Amino acid sequence: MIADEMLAAARSPAFPPLVIGPLLVDPPLLAAPMAGFSNYAYRQVLRGFGGVGLPCTEMLSARGVLGRHARGQVPPQRLWGVREEPRPLAVQIWDNDPETLAEVGRRLAHEFQASVVDINFGCPVRDISEKARSGSYLLRWPDRIGRIVAAAAAACRPVPVTAKIRLGATRDTINAIDVAQAVEGAGGAAVTVHGRTASEFFRGKADWDEIARIRPHLARIPLVGNGDLTSAQSVVEAMRRYGVAGVMIGRAALGRPWLFRQAQAALAGQPIPPDPTPAQQQALLLEHHRLVVERFGPQRGTILMRKFACRYAQGRPAARAFRAAVAHAADAQQFAAALEQFFPH
């Protein structure tokens, strides 16, 4: 379908706000929790452009949160800004123990005033899935996932508890329907499905046909789709073709945080705003850098910003040279100089 036809289809009432328990997510566009990226500064960049219906933190180790609390330590860095920033905001946690997740979920819901507590059942990283037997490791046991969601939902009420999953552990053991039904039956308020199995990590293409197969098996809660959404048109196509109630955008927005604003316009049948000019992108990176440096200091903040800056360079001329320059930037002046060279006025 060409872009004009997609936009015409989006003018229909087929794209209402996403309803997650008592929360209305409008537009139905969610920002994925991405370890090492979805911190307070990045979330503020997304909010500045608009179009994000529900931002999310990086995923938190529930056991780690409890351990810091027991030792009288301050909350982990991944809760930076959570108390103060605008709402709505989802906070994602992981573990395999129902009581641990329930206790941390309760704290996030009632002390930090999170809008949504999301539980990760999809992370395929070995340290989490195999060593800690959490994340995607739990996909093998839908009933165990159900017990976890039930405990967390009871502890967090009335704040909704949601789950993020994958299609299954492997292509031979796809069981997303069973897992999604377990989440719904346990009192979960929504389920987000990434269209790959755990064993696939991020290889190949997300299987949206498998995501769509889940929808008829859910009686009450909305289905959110995730995977390979790289343009406003792909968001409209996913919503129109696969019957999801919302979509989650992840990696594509790291170098293009304005993607949410473009997708929002496309869903409303409006003209898609253009990408920012190179000068505007340079100013955006400098502002992002300022926010990070305020928290972590000039040296560490600049080091943390290297990966964000490199994302903006993908697909552009001289991207390799820019990445090399940014990789050696050790302070704000060197970072700004690299940007000035790559984004000439």
pLDDT confidence tier of residue 316, bands split at 50, 70 and 90 = confident
Place of tokens 């972590």: 296
Report the distance separating Cα 260 and Cα 249, nearest Å. Answer: 8
On whether the CB atoms of residues 249 and 258 are closer than 8 A, the answer is no
How many other CB atoms are there within 10 angstroms of residue 160's CB atom? 24
- Strands 161-166 and 116-121, bridge-based pairing: parallel
Place of tokens 């929002």: 264
Q: Is the dihedral of CA 192, 196, 197, 202 positive or negative?
A: negative
Instruction: Mark whether 123 is an active-site residue.
Output: yes
- Cα distances (angstroms) measured from residue 259 to each of 152, 182, 230, 287, 303: 32, 33, 8, 18, 25
| 3 state SS of 227 | coil
φ/ψ of residue 127, rounded to 5: -60, -30
- Residue 10, pLDDT score: 41
Q: CB-based contacts of 221: which residues, under 8 Å, 6+ apart?
A: 183, 184, 188, 189, 190, 191
Residues linked to residue 119 through DSSP beta bridges, in sequence order: 93, 163
pLDDT tens readout for residues 234-289: 999 999 999 999 999 999 999 999 999 999 999 999 999 999 998 999 999 999 99
Q: Is the dihedral of CA 268, 257, 291, 59 positive or negative?
A: positive
Residues linked to residue 12 through DSSP beta bridges, in sequence order: none
Average pLDDT over residues 11-22: 80
How many other CB atoms are there within 10 angstroms of residue 148's CB atom? 29
Catalytic residue among 56, 123, 156, 310: 123
Residues linked to residue 93 through DSSP beta bridges, in sequence order: 60, 119
- Cα distances (angstroms) measured from residue 113 to each of 17, 33, 52, 116, 157: 22, 18, 19, 9, 12
pLDDT confidence tier of residue 318, bands split at 50, 70 and 90 = confident
- Residue 345, pLDDT score: 56
Average pLDDT over residues 317-330: 88
pLDDT tens readout for residues 96-145: 999 999 999 999 999 999 999 999 999 999 999 999 999 999 999 999 99
Place of tokens 């340079």: 282
CA-closest candidate to residue 61, choices 14, 16, 108 = 108
Please tell me the number of Cα atoms within 13 Å of 262 on its side-chain side.
20
pLDDT tens readout for residues 149-203: 999 999 999 999 999 999 999 999 999 999 999 999 999 999 999 999 999 999 9
pLDDT tens readout for residues 61-102: 999 999 999 999 999 999 999 999 999 999 999 999 999 999
This prediction has a pTM of 0.93
- Residue 129, pLDDT score: 96
Report the distance separating Cα 8 and Cα 193, nearest Å. Answer: 27
On whether the CB atoms of residues 87 and 113 are closer than 8 A, the answer is yes
